[in-house]
Amino acid sequence: MVYVKKQGGHSELRQRDVGESMTTNHKMEEVEREEEIDPENNTQNQPLLKRNRTLSSNPLALVGAKVSYIESLDYEINENDLFKHDWRSRSRAQVLQYIFLKWLLAFLVGLLTGIIATLINLAIENIAGYKLLAVLKYIHTERYMMGFLYFTGINFILTFVAAFLCVCLAPTAAGPGIPEIKAYLNGVDTPNMYGATTLIVKIIGSIGAVSAGLDLGKEGPLVHIGSCIASLLGQGGPDNYRIKWRWLRYFNNDRDRRDLITCGASSGVCAAFRAPVGGVLFALEEVATWWRSALLWRTFFSTAVVVVVLRAFIEICNSGKCGLFGEGGLIMFDVSNVTVTYHVMDIVVVAVIGIIGGILGSLYNHVLHKILRLYNLINQKGRIHKLLLSLAAALFTSLCQYGLPFLAKCTPCDSSLPESVCPTNGRSGNFKQFNCPPGHYNDLATLLLTTNDDAVRNIFSTNTPKEYQPLSLLIFFALYCILGLITFGIAVPSGLFLPIILMGSGYGRLIGIYMGPHTNIDQGLFAVLGAASLMAGSMRMTVSLCVIFLELTNNLLLLPITMIVLLIAKTVGDSFNPSIYEIILHLKGLPFMDANPEPWMRNLTVGELVDVKAAVVTLQGVEKVANIVDVLKNTAHNGFPVMDDGVVPPVVGQANEAKELHGLILRAHLIQALKKKWFLKERKRTEDWEVREKFTWVDLAEREGRIEEVAVTSEEMELFVDLHPLTNTTPFTVLESTSVAKAMILFRQVGLRHLLVVPKYQASGVSPVIGILTRQDLLAHNILTVFPDLAKSKGREKRN
Amino acid sequence: MVYVKKQGGHSELRQRDVGESMTTNHKMEEVEREEEIDPENNTQNQPLLKRNRTLSSNPLALVGAKVSYIESLDYEINENDLFKHDWRSRSRAQVLQYIFLKWLLAFLVGLLTGIIATLINLAIENIAGYKLLAVLKYIHTERYMMGFLYFTGINFILTFVAAFLCVCLAPTAAGPGIPEIKAYLNGVDTPNMYGATTLIVKIIGSIGAVSAGLDLGKEGPLVHIGSCIASLLGQGGPDNYRIKWRWLRYFNNDRDRRDLITCGASSGVCAAFRAPVGGVLFALEEVATWWRSALLWRTFFSTAVVVVVLRAFIEICNSGKCGLFGEGGLIMFDVSNVTVTYHVMDIVVVAVIGIIGGILGSLYNHVLHKILRLYNLINQKGRIHKLLLSLAAALFTSLCQYGLPFLAKCTPCDSSLPESVCPTNGRSGNFKQFNCPPGHYNDLATLLLTTNDDAVRNIFSTNTPKEYQPLSLLIFFALYCILGLITFGIAVPSGLFLPIILMGSGYGRLIGIYMGPHTNIDQGLFAVLGAASLMAGSMRMTVSLCVIFLELTNNLLLLPITMIVLLIAKTVGDSFNPSIYEIILHLKGLPFMDANPEPWMRNLTVGELVDVKAAVVTLQGVEKVANIVDVLKNTAHNGFPVMDDGVVPPVVGQANEAKELHGLILRAHLIQALKKKWFLKERKRTEDWEVREKFTWVDLAEREGRIEEVAVTSEEMELFVDLHPLTNTTPFTVLESTSVAKAMILFRQVGLRHLLVVPKYQASGVSPVIGILTRQDLLAHNILTVFPDLAKSKGREKRN
């Protein structure tokens, strides 16, 4: 267990994760084998000096409850001879093809995400609707025990389906998926995240889990679903049944896939909230790492398509063809009919909500972090434990949702309300009769014994200042605090938005009741503001949340106060802990690269960093096959600098000891060269046309070969390969005197996978490249294990 | 006129600009002197080969109708010893001070922008209001000639004030200012753009020009005003009266100023449209080049403050204390009371509007480009010509606005309308009586004889399907097409938003009249969509325009169709020409760096680019004063690589001929060293504490010294300066084999001013740095003058 030692602060958690994966799958063995052959793994022989270990990467992370070997993505354009030739020879028609296909794919992403979101909503509204109707019938006939058994039984079965699928078929489908998408767009490839199985399990699991009344939303899963659709479309279908359509080959690279997944994520948010601008901004503010204004435009196109699809479905459903799907589901919390009146002085009240939201939000993040660590302990015991945990959460939820309304007093209906409004006994409605006599309603049942969407709509309801008793709201708030904490970590697709909205609206409305005499803001708006403040306090978004709330509530007059609440809640929350997504990313061990370097990174040069790494492995411009095979088998590196020796550079006269840095070659391209048996009998450089006969850019786009799959005979071992035409001649470089902070900015801004370190000295005998830095080398956490003293240095850089 | 020869495609225009500046000011002489001493200026001696000239920079641009010498900005952190020491020694309290001040400045930017925007609105509404009331009184008493003279006279005086101030005091205050802000945020410093004079002239000029009824808006000027406020606040006041407050010193750098100006620009848009989210998005999509999510948050804070200020003022004005300022001005075109009903099939109609908008928008861009070139011809003749041009435009506008309504037929009021609504005879109102008998209204007067804001509100008015005659709308549209083209280039502060909205709404409503029987979209919404489509067709923004329109019209149901219109119009427009802002940037010669490299840039390496530049000028680590003075006087460069010679690097054994690249030193820091007389008697390296006694980071933040102002005696010339502690040891570098495309991406993404080119060879005798690239070297236009064949190479890269 070599890597556990290197883990530093997180060794405890990581060790457990590893234990779990040992019992549940065999993937670990593969991971360990790769670890063992990593030449950098000499951690145990190091003296305990200040630099007590060599800097070594730890390419493991928790992906869908499994510890997996993760890779970086290649967003850099690999400018080798073949690429340049292809670039020059690409005709105008091909370029137009590419542009057309890019927009077609953005269209399809929007279309499919919209359709699937509608189907999910239809399924949830109908399943949950018929379930609730049956339960209410039992209650109406006072067969409470039967009602309970029916309610719990259905919820149990629905949860079982969702959890079983997630546990057995696609562990990556559990949870919201947003942190992994965030990591992907940052340059971290998490395996099995965007497959067809994951997509299907996510859809079914999300329907099951939400219909079961669990305290989770379909929003996060929809983002993941959108991204899966985008990824599948871009690669032409599921892994084993890909359409090998010629046009799609242009999209077989990490850059285009990144753009597509960004479109998918925006479409998902848009479909979840019917918020097209909010969806784009969410992707921009929270999910994406790089952004171009051209991409802004394309994601906007995707979300426009989603909105049109949703609108078309609503038109169809308005004619009553969608079963119980009606007002619910898509048009979430329309408060546009409310005249919002508030004065400048109301800002004080609004600020108080913001502060409380910030505190509660960061507290929620803190406790959820602890609980997720505890759940990891339970989950590592095996599939059956995961399943039991999910079912236990479902049972507890059902018990509370059914049982707690009996604690609430029955309230007589306001005589001004028509009988059709109060009390109601149907599936949805704001004044539920539940166990009350005619003319009375049970306010807690209105909030609990309904779908989550309806619960939000009910608690957001305006012009009903006396509807809810403070005690009922307190019970509601406390219950959803507990449910929000215990439900998130279970093995079903779960979104974080809705639980936080429910929690926040509860305390917001509670404040509204007590503030009522001092302000003219409606109680329903207090609930909205409470929800917004808790979202900002936990998720720490501002502009996108603001726009999402704007589009959700459909009332622009709310904008200024929403902005203030969000800003205050985020500021307060940020002073305690990072956002919930950052916490999850950290917990999963995904090597996310932050926008801001740590302050101490200015005090460390990349030269010092390279010094504590293993020596860089380089290849000759024309290299012996045996050496290539050797290097590929004995290292896990993905890029190797290619150097030419003894070439006299034309720019200087006397230097015959010159060395030339030709560029960087990728592992995948070396494997391609071996696979294609592109061997030479002697050490010589080839002509351009020779390589073009053997390779096309389509071959070089392929990244999936493994050296173990390549058979090389012992005669071939003595032959040579000319690496020049396959080498990327334009790798990004930094001087060894560059600070780590600057290297990190370059690495993240340009979206690199490898960064070459070149010497600041110019002399014969010096190697033109003294090291390679990768994502793992630039992570604060990894650097601190080698230079622990740095963390103590003064000053902080957060240039917010 | 050396630089005219180097100008390539734009030589004609540039020559004229230069001619103008020669007659109008003496700044050119200075510019020319700097040009003459530029050692790279050997263009005339070059043979006419393929590489027919050396690559040379052309740091001249049209700033406020003057040709000025422009500089790049330093967004890179200059990591020298002093900086690092300061960084380490900065206490936690200082960091908190900095963060607090950053937010305080963002708050003040919002506050002041909000207040000034309100005052501008108040002034405009009152001046224009009383003017129109008086004119209407003349008309009511049928004294048409007097009315005309009064109307024209007032407009003439108002325009004269605005134009006189702009021409004589602050030429940079003319126009919208948005292109210059865009260039600033891209890294181009345009002189005199953000001074106190510019701010005051812009405010008064904007009030005058808008009150005079010219076809221009206050939106663009407000963006410039916001940026001026931000810049002045950041530097502690006007240039000559700066508050030397210690805290503000932290903001004496280009990075923080850039962030502040971004906040200012967002606040300006927000104040113009009362669109806080739209303001942030406008800054993000159109204005800013770099963006961090932390900045998103801070600009959002500024716009939130603006909105609160505006709301407070509206509350005050609602009680009638603001004269004629009422519904007008701030709440622009509220159509929230309209129930928008449309079907999926209406998308066809919407698409047609989008297509027409795209075609008209790009046509507008094209014609405006021609007219601006013509105006440059006129403007170069001197101040009096500029003034006359402005006044001619004002006279023509007044003549048409007053005279054309007489062509329209009087329409009888709809009997269902109350008398107070139709006809009206006051300042604002939808059915103006004008010259008509009682019970009738003049529809063209409703659109023309009013403020531009009211005209937009009237043409956007909904549920009035029969209000406007097609002929009146046609006249309106044709008039505003002409006015929009002739007004923009005159020497007054002018925004582009409103003219385009007026034009677009005219043709939108016209289409609405003819489409009426085939759709249920209201005619007012047709006008809104027409305006949106023309904006997108000319300005080419999507998300931000969408949100601005959302916030303007206050109706979320419009969102999906607005999105579709914008996307289609932008797509159509993009297929013809670039956006209007890009055209203006190009026309002014501002070296804006695009996000996407040109396709042929992949076929050129930076090594080839450096080859055609003059040899790089380097300094020794410990340099003789005479050499430094010589280099500073004889070059215009702003950064010099610092090299150490003969130092044996510890990493290699035998190499005693090693050269070390120590880093890059800035001109400003060399001048500081000379000014402070930090001289050494012998060639030796100093200790850290010595330099810290002499310099503080505050000194190094100063960028304004000139070598001509530094007096160095002839004895001092023989002394030495240790440049090591002042040298930025972490400059960004690229290998000589890197393609220009990649270098450009690095340059723009990281925000550089200098990019060092290092050799790919490692040998003794090779210089560790073979060239420096600056912004000018990487501009497509400059490269093509040296490598004209490249443009013909096939393939296009636009990776949208």
Shortest CB distance from B763 goes to which of A90, A596, A657?
Answer: A657
Give me the residue from A89, A560, A603 closest to B88, CB to CB. A603
Cα gap B663→B671, rounded to integer Å: 17
**Same-domain check for residues B166 and B273:** yes
Residue B568: CB atoms within 10 Å: 23
Are both A51 and A122 inside the same structural domain? no
Residues of chain A in contact with residue B653, where contact means CB-CB under 8 angstroms, are: 765
Best residue in B348, B602, B745, B760 for a mutation probing chain A (most A CBs within 10 Å): B760
* Contact criterion met (CB < 8 Å) for A735 and B731: yes
Shared domain check, B467 and B613: no
Whole-angstrom distance, CA of residue B469 vs CA of residue B457: 17
- Of B304, B560, B659, nearest to A560 by CB-CB distance is B304
Q: How far apart, in whole angstroms, are the C-alpha atoms of residue B635 and residue B628?
A: 11
Across the interface, whether the CB atoms of B87 and A564 are under 8 A apart is answered no
Instruction: Reduce the DSSP state of residue A187 to 3 states and report it.
Output: coil
Alpha helices in A236-340 (DSSP H): 254-273, 276-282, 293-318
Q: Is the pLDDT of residue A23 over 80?
A: no
Structure tokens at B776: 């000018």
Minimal CA–CA distance to B778: which of B800, B750, B746?
B746
Nearest CB neighbour to B767, from listed A596, A602, A762: A762
Verify whether the Cβ–Cβ distance B90 to A794 is below 8 Å. yes
Paired tokens of A678 = 């592109």
Which chain B residue has the Cα nearest residue A653? B765
Interface mutation target, options A729, A735, A772, chain B, most CBs of B under 10 Å: A735
Beta-carbon neighbour count of residue A277 at 10 Å? 30
Which of A79, A85, A318, A761 has the most B C-beta neighbours within 10 Å, making it the best mutation to test the interface with B? A761
Q: Closest approach of chain B CAs to the CA of A700, in angstroms?
A: 18
Within this chain, do residues A629 and A577 fall inside the same structural domain, yes or no? no
Tens of pLDDT along A231-264?
999 888 787 777 777 777 778 788 889 999 999 9
> Which of chain B's residues have a Cβ under 8 Å away from the Cβ of A333?
none
Please give the structure tokens belonging to residue A436: 């009350």
3-state secondary structure of A537: helix
Phi, psi of B86 (to 5 degrees): -60, -40
For residue A766, report the phi and psi dihedrals to the nearest 5 degrees.
-85, 135
Residues of A within 8 A of B91 (CB-CB) are 794
* B12 within 8 A of B369, measured Cβ to Cβ: no
Contacts of B293 in chain A (CB under 8 A): 285, 595
∠A455-A459-A461 over CA atoms, to 5°?
A: 115
In the 8-state DSSP scheme, what is residue A789?
A: G
* Low-confidence stretches of chain B (pLDDT beneath 50): 1-52, 328-331, 648-653, 655, 794-800
CA A359/CA A344 separation, integer angstroms: 24
Cα separation of the two ends of chain B? 39
- Neighbour-count burial for A618-632, b at 16+ CB within 10 Å, e otherwise: bbbbbbbbeebbebb
Q: Which helix (H) or strand (E) holds B479?
A: helix B470-487
Please tell me whether residue A280 adopts helix, strand or coil conformation.
helix
Contact A763 B658 (CB under 8 A): yes
Give the pLDDT of residue A334.
59
Q: Which of A73-77, A78-82, A451-455 has the highest mean pLDDT?
A: A451-455
Same domain, B284 and B348: no
Compute the Cα dihedral for A635, A640, A642, A646 and give only its sign: negative
Q: What is the pLDDT of residue B145?
A: 92
Sheet holding A771-774, edge to edge: A771-774, A754-758, A733-735, B733-735, B754-758, B771-774
Nearest to B311 among A560, A602, A657 (CB): A560
**Is residue A332 one of the residues assigned to a domain?**
no
pLDDT value at residue B656: 54
Do the Cβ atoms of A560 and B308 come within 8 Å? yes
Q: Are A651 and B759 in contact (CB < 8 Å)?
A: yes
Of B296, B556, B796, the CB nearest to A285: B296
Q: Domain check: are A71 and A15 in the same one?
A: yes
- B579's tokens: 């956006």
Answer yes or no: do A388 and A525 share one domain: yes
Provide the token pair at B340. Answer: 């928008």
Q: Which regions of B655-736 does DSSP assign to beta strands (E)? A: 659-666, 720-722, 733-735
Q: pLDDT: is A387 or B336 the higher one?
A: A387
Q: How many Å lie between the alpha carbon of B667 and the closest alpha carbon of chain A?
A: 21
From chain A, the residues in CB contact with B102 under 8 A are: 800
Residue B432 is part of a domain; what is its CATH number? 1.10.3080.10
Q: Is residue B563 part of a domain?
A: yes
Cα torsion through B296, B297, B299, B303, rounded to 10: 130
With contact defined as beta carbons under 8 Å apart, do B504 and B532 qualify? yes
- Choose the weakest-confidence range: A332-341, A379-388, A736-745, B507-516: A332-341
As for how many domains chain A has, the answer is 3
Among B90, B276, B799, select the one facing A795 at the smallest CB separation. Answer: B90
The C-alpha R_g of chain A, in whole angstroms, comes to 29
Residue of A305, A742, A762, A793 to mutate when probing chain B, most B C-beta within 10 A: A762
pLDDT at A356 over 90: yes
Closest-CA residue of chain B to A81: B603
C-alpha B403, offset from chain centre: 36
Strand, coil or helix: what is A512?
A: helix
Which residues in chain A are contacts of B799 at CB distance < 8 A? Answer: 294
CA distance B637 to B756: 13
pLDDT of residue A63: 67
Chain A CB contacts of B291 below 8 Å = 291
Q: Is residue A577 domain-shared with residue A604, that is, in the same domain?
A: no
* Residue count (chain B): 800
CB contact under 8 Å between B307 and A559, yes or no, is: yes
Residue B331 domain-assigned (yes or no):
no
pLDDT at A769 over 80: yes
The ipTM (two decimal places) reads 0.83
Question: Do B595 and A292 count as a contact with CB atoms less than 8 A apart?
Answer: yes
Dihedral (CA of A108, A113, A119, A122) sign: negative
Q: Find the mean pLDDT for residues A533-560.
A: 83
Domain membership flag for residue B609: yes
In this prediction, residue A1 carries a pLDDT of 29
What is the average pLDDT score of chain A? 82
Opening angle at CA B244, ends B240 and B250, nearest 5: 115
Could you tell me if A13 and A62 are in contact, meaning their C-beta atoms sit under 8 angstroms apart? Answer: no
On whether both B501 and B355 belong to a single domain, the answer is yes
> In CATH, what number is assigned to the domain containing residue B650?
3.10.580.10
The answer to which of A394-408, A561-575, A786-800, B224-238 has the lowest mean pLDDT is A786-800
Task: Tell me if A328 is assigned to some domain.
Answer: no
Contacts of B242 (CB under 8 A, 6+ apart): B235, B236
Q: Which residue among B547, B565, B588 closes a domain?
A: B588
pLDDT the model gives residue A42? 36
pLDDT of amino acid A712:
85
Are A573 and A626 in a shared domain?
no
Chain A residues with CB-CB distance to B758 below 8 A: 733, 735, 758
Percent of chain A with pLDDT over 70: 86
Q: Do B660 and A762 touch (CB under 8 A)?
A: yes
Q: Are strands B440-442 and A771-774 parallel, antiparallel or unpaired?
A: unpaired
Nearest residue in B to A85, CA atom: B603
Q: Which regions of B363-407 does DSSP assign to beta strands (E)?
A: none
Closest C-alpha among A651, A726, A151, A652 to residue A398 = A151
Tokens standing for residue A503: 């929690």
Residue A745 lies in a domain: yes
Q: Are residues A104 and A123 in the same domain?
A: yes
The shortest C-alpha distance from B731 to chain A (Å) reads: 7
**HEC string for B85-138:** HHHHHCCHHHHHHHHHHHHHHHHHHHHHHHHHHHHHHHHHHHHHHHHHHHHHHH
Q: How far apart are the first and last CA of chain A?
A: 39
Q: Is residue B616 part of a domain?
A: yes
Contact across the interface for A79 and B602, Cβ inside 8 Å: yes
A588, A608, A643 - which closes a domain: A588
User: What are A93's strand-pairing partners?
Assistant: none
Report yes or no: A226 and A264 within 8 Å, Cβ to Cβ.
Answer: yes
Q: Given B280, B762, B799, which is nearest A768 (Cβ)?
A: B762
User: A391: which 2 tokens?
Assistant: 């079912």
Name the residue among A298, A738, A760 with its Cβ closest to that of B660: A760
Name the residue facing A660 among B307, B653, B760 (closest C-beta). Answer: B760
List the single best residue of B762, B764, B797 to mutate versus A (max A Cβ within 10 A). Answer: B762
* Range of the structural domain that residue A515 is part of: 346-588
Residues of B in contact with A766 (CB under 8 A): 649, 651-652, 655, 658, 762
Which of B588, B607, B634 terminates a domain? The answer is B588
Å between B222 CA and nearest CA of chain A: 20
**Do the Cβ atoms of B742 and A599 come within 8 Å?**
no
User: Does B2 share its domain with B36?
Assistant: yes
Distance from CA of A538 to the nearest CA of B (A): 16
Q: What is the rounded CA–CA span in Å between residue A406 and residue A444? A: 8
Count of alpha carbons within 13 angstroms of residue A154, beta-carbon side: 19
8 Å CB contact between A214 and A494: yes
Query: Does A438 sit behind a cis peptide bond, omega within 30 degrees of 0 on the bond before it?
Result: no
Smallest CA-to-CA distance from A659 within B652, B659, B763 is with B763
Whether A712 is in a domain gets the answer yes
Record the tokens describing residue A773, joined without a space.
């830095």
